[in-house]
Amino acid sequence: MIISDYNPEKLLEKRLDERAKKLEDASRIIGENSLNELNKLIDIYDEKMYIWLSELWEARVGGFYYSPSARDNAGFLPDLESTGQALQFIHDSGLCPDYKDIPEKLKMKMISFARELQSAEDGFFYHTQWGKDIPTSRRGRDLVWANGIIQRLGAAMKYPSPLDTKAKAAPKRAEHLSDINAYKKYLSQFEDPDSKYYVKKHSYPLGNLLAAQGAQIKAAGDEYVLCTKDFLDRHQYSHNGLWQEKTDYDSVNGLMKMSTLYSMLSLELPNAAQALKSALDVALKPDGANRIVYVYNPLCAMKEALKSVKVSCGEERAAKLRKTVLDSASEVISAARNKVLRFKKEDGSFSYCPDRSADKSQGVPVAIPNTNEGDVNATKISLCAVLGETCGALGIDTPRVFSSEDGRIFFTLMQERNDVK
């Protein structure tokens, strides 16, 4: 793709100018050495990322493909999660910090794509390529991603959804959320050691399953929220703040999902100090991250643990705990950079595994298996999540990687594709 007025040096100059104030503020909090490490992390991201992303836009549908192999092979279509993550990337990276400024034709395409996938029957969102026979986590996540796309772009859902609490015509909730006793029974199955969602062994799959339904649990009412809290509180280990006895990538991955769920439900995370230490220990590990989420999850868990402490115990207590992270700021940032680089591709994208992208997402096919390529999920995680959660854990504003000029180029590339002119 040739851009007539593309000038890498001017682009870099514009970026540095637009992020200067945030970096100056960050330096006062994390110090000069840590700021140098932060700049090294930011430097791994360049315009190749958004050029790559623009080529996954499908204007005839109004959404983004998950990866190049999905775009280039029959049987795959753009999906809500990839489109929602692309929107987050556009916003968080600095390409377009205000969703209102996305070009109107592009915005309307995405709104239409999301709205038309909603079922009038149950209010959930279903893709043509997957149908309705999909896992609970896939259904729940698509509901959340669709809601995010539609709301961020200033529109409304076509029909009432399971997230509605006041609509007279709101669809029935899922069976296990229709009655509190049914919900208690639903949760009790995760106490079975033979379950693939056993709380003491498989905290990440369980946390993912529950977090995917977090908005639905909240919409069901306070009784369901408190029931969730009671279940999770009872099974957490006090010595490490985790739901598994050993502290490692696996158990801290579980913490990330669980702590996110606590935040979604406005609940206090118990044993937050121990959870923070566990996440920090794993974040500082120099190796073992064979999935890009293993880089992101400990950082996110730290941020969520500190958020919980701030809400429940106040800023002073959170600041004391954050000092533990700040004392290791340079090492945390350097470790994140070294690990995330293992997933970077020549075209500027990032893959889910070092040598390939995941070919399934929440149990449904999204790409050709064993393809060494980047994907939207991993690329968004590599920048928005790794950089964003690192800054969140350190208590600093996240610098924008790209500038308004990068945004202009990105939207020009999108508008040149297919039939959007």
pLDDT of residue 165: 72
Whether 418 and 60 have beta carbons less than 8 Å apart is answered as yes
Interior angle at CA 57, CA 411 and CA 416, nearest 5: 50
Cα(304)–Cα(283) distance, integer angstroms = 14
Question: How deeply is 278 buried, as exposed, middle or buried, from its count of CB atoms within 10 A (0-12, 13-18, 19+)?
Answer: buried
pLDDT of residue 418: 67
Whether 386 and 365 have beta carbons less than 8 Å apart is answered as no
pLDDT of residue 5: 61
pTM: 0.89
What stretches in the chain show pLDDT beneath 50?
1-2, 420-421
- What's the token pair of residue 97? 């910090």
SS3 390: helix
pLDDT of residue 1: 46
Cα(60)–Cα(342) distance, integer angstroms = 34
Whether 82 and 145 have beta carbons less than 8 Å apart is answered as no
pLDDT of residue 122: 93
pLDDT of residue 309: 82
Cα(323)–Cα(393) distance, integer angstroms = 10
151-195: per-residue pLDDT in tens? Answer: 999 999 999 998 887 655 667 788 899 899 999 999 999 999 999
337-360: per-residue pLDDT in tens? Answer: 999 999 999 999 999 999 999 999
